[in-house]
Amino acid sequence: MNIENYNVNSPIFKPTLFFNRFCVSFFSTTATTTTIQVMDSIAETQRTLYPYVTGSSVVAIKYKDGILMAADMGGSYGSTLRYKSVERVKPIGKHSLLGASGEISDFQEILRYLDELILNDNMWDDGNSLGPKEVHNYLTRMMYNRRNKFNPLWNSLVLGGVKNGQKYLGTVNMIGMSFEDNHVATGLGNHLARPILRDEWHENLTFEEAVRLLEKCMRVLLYRDRSAVNKIQISKITEEGSTVYAPFSLKTYWDFSAFKNPTAGAEGSW
């Protein structure tokens, strides 16, 4: 702990308080000088090392009228399925949807930052509103700056929206890497869902086609991602606005002969 003495030879000097790192203990004034004793009490700043409560994949696609985004409602605590009603897709402002995988508490903090961003935008009251491109840029800068300080927000985010007829779908992860595409996914969704989307996505999918495509992706994730839960929420954003649909569960089929007798082709295997 350092104790530093500042001698300031100005009668009009006003001491300022630095909240996080220093605390002004006392100051005495003589006729010509003001002495302030400051105690330096910096604690070693803590940084994120690993996530605690996590959400699994988010999958999103562009379709005819806008963007469709799907995520399950699970919040895992390591290998325990701790929370089963976590909403991982939220509307942002009038034009965007944000979906997140990774640390849930960091997602909630991001929502608070975006709340402030949208609030300040609304306070201008000038008829303009932040579109998905602007929100995506803000998120990218925020994630990159946290990464620069070695204290990342442990999330992979999907940001989709429509403004003035222009559809936008982008993603950004915890090291600040971002891009936009016609279909995006986070985590295991990149491995399991993107190949399906590369094969079956096309321009101007109808709403029903798009929902069926997303359900197909979520079903594969349900079968093959151990942190997936069978409680899916699909959200939609169009020029008219956003809709978060009620949660539903997918029908699964476990009577495949390969599941019933998995070692039929390889004796001794499991």
Partner 1 sequence: MTKQHANWSPYDNNGGSCVAIAGADYCVIAADTRMSTGYNILTREYSKISQLAEKSVMASSGFQADVKALQKVLSARHLIYQHQHNKQMSCPAMAQLLSNTLYYKRFFPYYSFNVLGGLDSEGKGCVFTYDAVGSYERVGYSSQGSGSTLIMPFLDNQLKSPSPLLLPAQDAVTPLSETEAVDLVKTVFASATERDIYTGDKLEIVILNASGIRREYMELRKD
Q: How far apart are CB 32 and partner 1 at their closest, in Å?
A: 43
Of 215, 221, 167, nearest to 190 by C-alpha is: 221
For 182, the 3-state DSSP assignment is coil
Would residue 48 show up in a list of annotated catalytic residues for this protein? yes
94 DSSP 8-state letter: T
| Residue closer to partner 1, measured from CB, 179 or 248 | 179
Least Å distance between CB 34 and partner 1?
38
Contact between 193 and 57 under an 8 Å Cβ cutoff? The reply is yes
C-alpha angle with apex 241: 126 to 98, nearest 5 degrees?
90
Taking the least distance from each CB to partner 1, the nearer of 50 and 256 is 50
DSSP 138: H
- Catalytic choice (29, 34, 35, 48): 48
Pick between residue 191 and residue 216 the one whose CB is nearest to partner 1.
191
Nearer to partner 1, 49 or 123 (CB): 49
DSSP-assigned letters across all residues of 36-48:
EEEEE-PPPPP--
Q: Supply the minimum distance, in Å, between the C-beta of residue 135 and partner 1.
A: 16
Q: How far is the CB of 202 from partner 1 (least distance, A)?
A: 15
Partners of 23 in beta bridges? 39
Write the single-letter amino acid at 218. M
| Residues making contact with partner 1 (CB under 8 A) | 47, 49-50, 140, 144, 147-148, 150, 152, 175-181, 190-191, 194
Long-range contacts of 18-27 (CB under 8 A, 24+ apart): none
Nearest distance, CB of residue 176 and partner 1, angstroms = 4
Angle between helices 104-123 and 132-148 (to 10 degrees): 130
Closest CB 143 distance from partner 1, rounded Å: 8
Task: Give the residue with the Cβ less far from partner 1, 119 or 175.
Answer: 175
Query: DSSP characters for 200-249?
Result: H--TT--HHHHHHHHHHHHHHHHHH-TT--S-EEEEEEETTEEEEPPPB-
Residue 82 vs 194, nearer CB to partner 1 = 194
State how far the Cα of 192 lies from the Cα of 147, in Å rounded to an integer.
27
- C-alpha–C-alpha distance, residues 51 and 94, integer Å: 31
The residues assigned a catalytic role are 48
